[in-house]
Amino acid sequence: MPVVPFDQREGFIWMNGKLVDWQDAKLHVLSHGLHYASCVFEGERAYGGQIFKSTEHSERFRRSASLLDFEIPFSVAELDAAKQIVVDKNNLPDCYVRPVAWRGSEMMAVAAQNSTINVAIAVWPWPSMFDVNEKMKGIRVDIADYRRPDPLTAPSDAKAAGLYMICTISKHRAERRGYADAMMLDWQGRVAECTGANIFFIANGVLHTPIADCFLDGITRRTVIDLARRRGVEVVERRIMPEELAGFQECFICGTGAEVTPVSEIGPYKFTPGALSRSFVEDYSAEVKPRQKAA
In this structure, the answer to whether residues 107 and 156 fall within a common structural domain is no
In this structure, the answer to whether residues 235 and 140 fall within a common structural domain is yes
Question: Does residue 80 carry a pLDDT above 80?
Answer: yes
Mean pLDDT, to the nearest integer, of 275-293? 89
Q: Is residue 159 among the annotated active site residues?
A: yes
Containing structural domain, residue 79? 9-124
In this structure, the answer to whether residues 276 and 140 fall within a common structural domain is yes
In this structure, the answer to whether residues 101 and 171 fall within a common structural domain is no
Instruction: Tell me whether residue 27 is in a domain.
Output: yes
Question: Does residue 2 carry a pLDDT above 70?
Answer: no
Looking at residue 147, which CATH number applies to its domain? 3.20.10.10
Instruction: Tell me whether residue 2 is in a domain.
Output: no
Instruction: Tell me whether residue 250 is in a domain.
Output: yes
Instruction: Tell me whether residue 245 is in a domain.
Output: yes
Instruction: Tell me whether residue 114 is in a domain.
Output: yes
Model pLDDT, residue 1: 55
Model pLDDT, residue 130: 67
In this structure, the answer to whether residues 24 and 103 fall within a common structural domain is yes
Catalytic residue (one of 89, 159, 270, 293): 159
End-to-end CA distance of the chain: 44
Q: How many domains does the chain have?
A: 2
Give the residue from 124, 156, 175 where a domain finishes: 124
Instruction: Tell me whether residue 294 is in a domain.
Output: no
Mean pLDDT, to the nearest integer, of 183-205? 98
Model pLDDT, residue 295: 39
Question: Does residue 292 carry a pLDDT above 60?
Answer: no
Mean pLDDT, to the nearest integer, of 105-124? 97
Mean pLDDT, to the nearest integer, of 191-216? 97
User: pTM (2 decimals)?
Assistant: 0.95
Give a three-class secondary structure readout of 1-70. CCCCCHHHCCCEEEECCEEEEHHHCCCCCCCHHHHHCCEEECCEEEECCEECCHHHHHHHHHHHHHHCCC
In sequence order, what DSSP letters do the residues of 158-194 get, joined into one string? S-BGGGGHHHHHHHHHHHHTT-SEEEEEBTTS-EEEE
Percent share of the chain, pLDDT over 90: 93
